[in-house]
């Protein structure tokens, strides 16, 4: 160890000079011999590395959660199921073409109906290709005609393939002016909102749909009603 410190001191004294190949080889050999004699330092180093990584992940997770909560607190009531002023919030990342999202939709409706102190914030997160992106753009654009929630429920309950023609047919069925909708879909605000949702999902570690954020917990998958209610209760208690 003394030899190693001496070499490090020597190296520091020559900060502007590179080690010669022989000096570098000598340093490496001293380090190797020390590690062989004291293998526990490798274990200790790995434990410390894991601790630092876990700490960094926790800090990043908390930062992402804070950013998400700040975002949903300012989001338009158009994207909210339940009471927009409710104290308890559940955030759902979803895709209109995701069969698991469609399966969980009635469960979300049931939980909202049973819990008057709850709001569900719907996060458009089109990840299943161009048709999904088209559907999300259309849904977001429908807000200008006051039809978002009706259009959202129509697309979520649709059985079968949800291609672009079908999206426009459903839009017409819920009373949307389709020509106006197409124009509104090109709005920079629509693109910006979807981009923002991608960014938040990436920071949170959301990799698929559906995914819920309940309190400070990310809950992936099409969870059942009992699990959803239990997570909400836990979030309220904490």
Q: How confident is the model at residue 79 (pLDDT cuts 50, 70, 90)?
A: very high
- The pLDDT tens digits of the residues spanning 167-214 come to 999 999 999 999 999 999 999 999 999 999 999 999 999 989 999 999
- The pLDDT tens digits of the residues spanning 117-162 come to 999 999 999 999 999 999 999 999 999 999 999 999 999 999 989 9
Q: Are 83 and 116 in contact (CB under 8 A)?
A: yes
Q: How confident is the model at residue 42 (pLDDT cuts 50, 70, 90)?
A: confident
Residue 74 has what DSSP assignment?
A: T
- Domain coordinates in residue numbering, the chain: 2-38, 77-237
Bond before 210 cis per omega within 30 degrees: yes
Reference 95, options 65, 44, 133, 138; nearest CA is 133
Tell me what pLDDT residue 25 has: 84
Q: Are 173 and 151 in contact (CB under 8 A)?
A: no
Helical (H) or strand (E) element with 122: strand 118-124
Burial class (CB in 10 A: 0-12, 13-18, 19+), 155: buried
Percent of the chain clearing pLDDT 90 (strictly above): 67
Count Cβ neighbours within 10 Å for each residue of 201-228 and write b for 16 or more, e otherwise.
beebebebbbbbbbbeebbeebbeeeeb
Taking phi first (over 0 means left), then psi (-120 to 50 degrees means alpha), and beta for anything else, what does residue 160 get? left
C-alpha span between 79 and 124 (Å, rounded): 9
Distance from chain centroid for Cα 75: 16
Fold observed for domain 77-237 = Glutaredoxin (3.40.30)
C-alpha span between 203 and 14 (Å, rounded): 43
Percent of the chain clearing pLDDT 70 (strictly above): 88
C-alpha span between 61 and 68 (Å, rounded): 10
């Amino acid at each position: 160890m003394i030899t190693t410190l001496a070499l490090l001191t020597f190296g520091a004294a020559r900060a502007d000079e590179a080690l010669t190949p022989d000096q570098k080889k000598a340093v490496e050999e001293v380090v190797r011999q020390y590690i062989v004699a004291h293998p526990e330092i490798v274990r200790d180093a790995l434990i410390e590395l894991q601790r630092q990584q876990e700490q960094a992940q926790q800090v990043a997770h908390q930062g992402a959660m804070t950013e998400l909560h700040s975002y949903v607190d300012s989001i338009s009531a158009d994207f909210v199921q339940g009471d927009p002023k409710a104290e308890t919030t559940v955030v759902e990342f979803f895709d209109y073409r995701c069969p698991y999202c469609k399966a969980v939709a009635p469960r979300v409706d049931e939980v909202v109906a049973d819990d008057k102190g709850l709001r569900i914030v719907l996060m458009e997160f089109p990840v299943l290709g161009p048709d999904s992106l088209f559907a999300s753009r259309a849904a977001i654009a429908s807000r200008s005609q006051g039809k978002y929630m009706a259009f959202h429920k129509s697309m979520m309950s649709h059985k079968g393939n949800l291609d672009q023609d079908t999206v426009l047919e459903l839009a017409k069925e819920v009373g949307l002016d389709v020509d106006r909708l197409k124009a509104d879909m090109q709005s920079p605000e629509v693109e910006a909102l979807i981009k923002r949702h991608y960014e938040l999902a990436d920071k949170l570690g959301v990799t698929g749909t559906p995914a819920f954020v309940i309190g400070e917990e990310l809950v992936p998958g099409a969870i059942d009603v009992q699990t959803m209610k239990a997570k909400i209760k836990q979030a309220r208690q904490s």
